[in-house]
Amino acid sequence: MAPRARRRRLLPVLLALCALLCPLQVTFQITPPCASRRHYERFGRCCNKCEPGTYMSSKCTTTSESVCLPCGPDEYLDTWNEEDKCLLHKVCDTGKALVAVEPGNRTAPRRCACTRGYHWSEDCVCCRRNTDCAPGFGVQHPVQLNKDTVCQPCLAGYFSDTISSTEECKPWTNCTILGKTEVRHGTDTSDVVCSPWPPTKLPNERGIYLPTLTLLLLFASVVFVAAVIFGVYYRKKGKALTANLWHWVNEACGRLSENKEM
């Protein structure tokens, strides 16, 4: 019972202390020196600056705060300010190869950059055409907007046959993938040249030649074997055969002559 009672008595005391100190804290934060970026000093007091996107139409007085008004449609202010007017957005002139990369709004300026193929040059304070890379050289990627091209020699297996400020080295054509054969090697300035006909035709030609050749060989071997067999047979039974032949011829002739006589 006793501690609870003590707490009950403490609570109003704490509340009263806070009620006294809390407003004090706020005044302490604002009044001392005008240290904050968001305030300015005038007539010995600290006044509010205007937030980004607004300008100060009238400064504070001893009795009134600053009056801030929003920037116009093509204007901006990107800081806490005491400006009496907003800044105009710049024009990204396409005639000077400029393009808006950030459109800008009331709180941020419009940002221009050189269009593709151009880079900003501090020498002329203008956009300059990007350097062309000669054949055998390609543009290093990624091409950075607003940066001049960096040319690098084409590595083995790559080529560039054009004068260009945008093109990379291209890989040589792979004839194998196209189902063709390579008839000329590639260089750093020229592509590989593939045969205009696919090599798939060669097996077709072989398809025509091969059976013909096989048939011819087969025929030749048959003739050869027949000749050998005939030769062997003739040598062994040559005499008998001739005798048989003579016998048959004589018989035939005899019959013929008999017929004639009849």
Ligand X SMILES: *[C@@H]1O[C@H](CO)[C@@H](O)[C@H](O)[C@H]1NC(C)=O
Token reading at 240: 């008998």
Smallest gap from Cβ 31 to ligand X, in A, equals 32
The stretch near ligand X (CB under 6 A) out of 17-25, 99-107, 113-121, 246-254 is: 99-107
What DSSP character marks residue 107?
S
> Cα(262)–Cα(249) distance, rounded to whole angstroms?
20
Q: How far apart are CA 190 and CA 185, in angstroms?
A: 9
Strand partners, 129: 118
Return the number of the residue (53 or 138) whose C-beta is nearest ligand X: 53
Can residue 176 be called a binding residue for ligand X (CB under 6 A)?
A: yes
Q: Which of 102, 179, 184, 224 binds ligand X (CB under 6 A)?
A: 102
Site map 156..175 versus ligand X, x via CB under 6 A? ------------------x-
CA-to-CA separations, 169 to 24, 128, 154, in angstroms, rounded = 71, 23, 6
- Of 34, 59, 87, 107, which one interacts with ligand X (CB under 6 A)? 107
Q: Does 61 bind ligand X (CB under 6 A)?
A: no
Q: What share of the chain is helix, strand, coil (3-state, %, to 5)?
A: 35, 20, 40
Residue number, 185 or 235, with CB nearest to ligand X: 185
Strand partners, 114: 98
Stretch that binds ligand X, among 29-37, 104-112, 193-201, 204-212 (CB under 6 A): 104-112
CB-facing half-sphere around the CA of 232: CA atoms within 13 A:
5
Q: How far is the CB of 109 from ligand X (least distance, A)?
A: 9
Minimum CB separation from ligand X for residue 184, in Å?
A: 13
Q: Considering the rule CB under 6 A, would residue 177 count as an interface residue with ligand X? A: yes
Binding-site residue total for ligand X (CB under 6 A)?
A: 7
Give how far the C-alpha of residue 115 lies from the chain's centroid of Cα atoms, to the nearest Å: 19
Strands (E) in 36-85, as ranges, are: 39-42, 45-48, 54-58, 67-70, 75-76
Q: Which of 34, 46, 87, 108 binds ligand X (CB under 6 A)?
A: 108
| Phi, psi of 123, deg, nearest 5 | -65, -50
Closest approach, Cβ 188 to ligand X, in A, equals: 15
Rounded to an integer, what distance in angstroms lies between the CA atom of residue 238 and that of residue 202?
50
Sole window of 105-113, 118-126, 143-151, 252-260 interacting with ligand X (rule: CB under 6 A):
105-113
Binding site for ligand X (CB under 6 A): 102, 105, 107-108, 174, 176-177
